[in-house]
Every structure is written in structure tokens, then in C-alpha cells.
Amino acid sequence: MPFDQLHRRDFITLLGGAAAYPLAARAQHSAKLRAIGFLGSTTPSAESQRTAALVQRLRELGWIEGRTIAIEYRWGEGRPERFAEIAAEFVRLKVDIMITGGTPTALAAKRATAVIPIVFAMTGDPVGTGLVAHLARPGGNLTGLSTQTTDTVSKRIELLREVVPNLRRLAILANIDSPVVVLEMGEAQAAANTLGLEVVTLEVGRAQDIERTFETLGRADGLYVCADPLVSANRTRINALALAARLPTMHDLRENAVPGGLMSYGPNIPDLFRRAGEYVDKILRGAKPAELPVEQPTKFELVINLNTAKALGLEIPATLLARADEVIE
């Protein structure tokens, strides 16, 4: 089935399915339906490519919505308090498996249950944040895919410096309430110090903090943005504020660079969600999460937004454009 049809169906399910045709009612119609709870960290439109890739892979493996599985979609809209509420709801609904995207949602799911299997489709550092004991043998009820965000911090800063050769003072925007972001911020500070850069941090914990931090920033030559649900939910606003301040931005995620950011370098996220479908398949067929190794990305992508570069008066080196996986014009 084409992705656009999957998007449409997912959105219709979100608007009406959960209220009009709850999981319990669907289960009465078919004892064979396996229940999956999808805990999205932002919104259905922001994560449409992710859910489409997941649903497509599940379908290829024989798990079809309404016939062999029932997927309950819930959306946190970047608000951490919603993550815990949704995870608790899935426990009450007794879903067979939870799927999460991002470290905060995975942590909320872990706190909610030690019994229901949880597949995290992406998380920055599952060992460092305590989600699993080891990558090779997770050891609990969680497994999935790691973006290894901290391992690629230096690469992102070096790429930003290629575009901004006079980079001297680097601002780092980070949600300090997120454990993995704290780790990434530490790596970014260390990498910047190694390159002889001065660092200033913009610490946020709520959407209301974002504009205030920009107002107090002062001078900076570039902005490193640590991805998390709060940032993703406010990415357009962050990029607009950065553009107004004449700040070239570097993001982890393509989806955060597209709406006005300058660059991103990181794993292909839809591919991770597609691979998450394979974990779901194995677990629904009897595998134990504790024995399924956490896997790492195989596809990384460099995205450059030429529209933003022109607005900032920056010329992207031809050698860098040639290396880019996607150029937005």
C-alpha cells in the first residue's frame, strides 16, 4: 500500500478510531488481533513518515491493521507529562507491545511497566540513560534501535565549521530535563573545547523558555540544536528565531532542519522505524526483548537547506554539497 494511503488511515484512526472504536471493542470482533500501543513523542503530522515506514514493514511481515493487529496511536505533543499518562493508559489497555520514539517516551514506558515488551524505534544512548543494561543483551523488557547520538556530535560540529569557517562562539540549545540531551550537550561542549571554540548554552525545559533564551543569548556564530520531543515540537519556531538572530543551525534530525534550519546530520529516522517493525514481528512471534540485541543505524544522511544558507548570506562549499544526501532548494 502506498505511504500516502497509510498516512491517511493513520490520521483517520487518530481522529475517530480511538474514541469511536476502542481497542477492547475491536478485540471482541477478533481474538486474533494483537494490540500495539504507539507512543508518539510529538504529533501525527510530524511523525507521518515514521509511522508509514513502521506500518509498511509490519504489513510486509504479515501484520495488517484491522486483520491481525490493532494499533492504538497516542501523541505526546512534546509534553513530558503526557508521555507518562499515555504509557499508563497502554498498561490499563493491556496492549501486547509498546512502540516508542525517543528517549523520554521510552523512559516513560519503562517506568510504567516491567512486563509489557517495549520497542524503542530510536533513542540517543540506551545504555547511558539506563534503558538497557547492555546493547548486546538488553536484559529487561526493552529493546530496539539506538541512534548513538553522542557518537556523532563531533562530526556535526565539524560540518558546521566547514560552512562557517569563522566559527568562534558556539551556542548549544538543549532541553536539560532530558537525560540523553544532557549527555549530548556534554559531548558537544567537549568537542567544541577541543576545537578551541567558546561555548554558551541555551537551557530550556518548556516551550515558554525558548524565546527567552534567544533574547539573552548575546553574540554567537552558530547554534547546535540537541534534538528531543520539546525541540521537535517547536522546530519551526526555533529555526525562525535562529534566522532572525543570523545564526546558522546544526540539527541531529532531518525533520528539524527542513523547516528553516541550515543543516542536519544523523541517522535516517524512517529507516529506524521500519526496522522497529522487525522487532515487533519477532516479539509477537515469541521472542524475548531481553535477548534481542539493540541495533545501531546503518544509514546516515547529511541535509543542507540552501534556502536558509542564502537567507544567511552563506556560501556552501561545493565539496560539501557534493557529499550531501539531500539539498533543499
- Looking up residue 74, the CATH number of its domain turns out to be 3.40.50.2300
- The counts of H helices and E strands in the chain are 15, 12
User: What pLDDT sits at residue 244?
Assistant: 95
Question: How many structural domains does the chain have?
Answer: 2
Same domain, 194 and 112: no
User: What pLDDT sits at residue 21?
Assistant: 43
Same domain, 105 and 247: no
Same domain, 277 and 321: no
Same domain, 173 and 257: yes
User: What pLDDT sits at residue 86?
Assistant: 98
C-alpha to C-alpha distances, 161 to 30, 213, 300, nearest whole angstrom: 57, 23, 19
Confidence class for position 23, pLDDT limits 50, 70, 90 = low
Confidence class for position 31, pLDDT limits 50, 70, 90 = low
Same domain, 78 and 201: no
The whole domain housing 175 covers 149-267+301-328
Same domain, 130 and 220: no
> Is pLDDT above 90 for 19?
no
Q: Are 231 and 175 in contact (CB under 8 A)?
A: yes
> Is pLDDT above 50 for 13?
no
Same domain, 294 and 312: no
Question: For residue range 48-92, what is the model confidence (pLDDT) as tens digits?
Answer: 999 999 999 999 999 999 999 999 999 999 888 899 999 999 999
Same domain, 124 and 224: no
Query: C-alpha 236: how far from its chain's center?
Result: 16
Same domain, 173 and 105: no
Same domain, 163 and 223: yes
Q: What H or E segment, with its residue span, contains residue 235?
A: helix 235-244
User: What pLDDT sits at residue 16?
Assistant: 42
As a whole number, mean pLDDT of residues 20-45 equals 71
Cα radius of gyration rounded to whole Å, the chain: 20
DSSP state, residue 245: T
- How far is Cα 25 from Cα 35, in angstroms, rounded to an integer? 12
Same domain, 157 and 226: yes
As a whole number, mean pLDDT of residues 177-192 equals 93
Confidence class for position 121, pLDDT limits 50, 70, 90 = very high
Question: For residue range 137-166, what is the model confidence (pLDDT) as tens digits?
Answer: 999 999 999 998 888 999 999 999 999 999
Question: For residue range 97-118, what is the model confidence (pLDDT) as tens digits?
Answer: 999 998 999 999 999 999 999 9
Q: Assign residue 239 a region (left: φ > 0; alpha: ψ between -120 and 50; beta: otherwise).
A: alpha
User: What pLDDT sits at residue 78?
Assistant: 85
pLDDT, averaged across the chain? 90
Same domain, 281 and 239: no
Q: Quote the pTM value.
A: 0.83
As a whole number, mean pLDDT of residues 274-299 equals 96
